[in-house]
Amino acid sequence: ACVRNNSNRAAISHLHRQLYGRLYPVLLVNTDGSTVRLRYSEPKRILMMPLDSSTLPEAERKARLRRQFPSKPKAKEEETFEGIDLDTYKKFWKK
C-alpha cells in the first residue's frame, strides 16, 4: 500500500503539520546587549530576553523595581483664597 502525498490530500482535510512554514526575520537582543538575527513565527521587529534579577547587585535591583513600580503620587494641598487680592481680578468679572 503505497501512499502518495500530493496537493489533493491537503484539499480534503487540514494540513498535517505541527509548525507552518512561514517564519519572519526578527532581531533577538540578549541581556548583555548582543544581538542575533533569527526566524520567528510572529512578525515582530525586536525580541528582548528577560533579565534575571537574582544576578544583579542589590542597589541596581531596587532601582529597577522602583522604575517598574513607581510610588503613588502624593495628595496636594488645596489652595485657600485668603491671600489673594480680589481687586486685581475685578476687570475679568462681568457687570
Model confidence pLDDT, tens digit, residues 66-80:
888 888 888 888 877
User: Model's pTM, two decimal places?
Assistant: 0.40
pLDDT, tens only, 19-76:
667 888 999 998 888 999 988 888 898 988 888 888 889 998 899 888 888 888 888 8
Contact 65, 54 (CB under 8 A): no
| 3 state DSSP class of 13 | coil
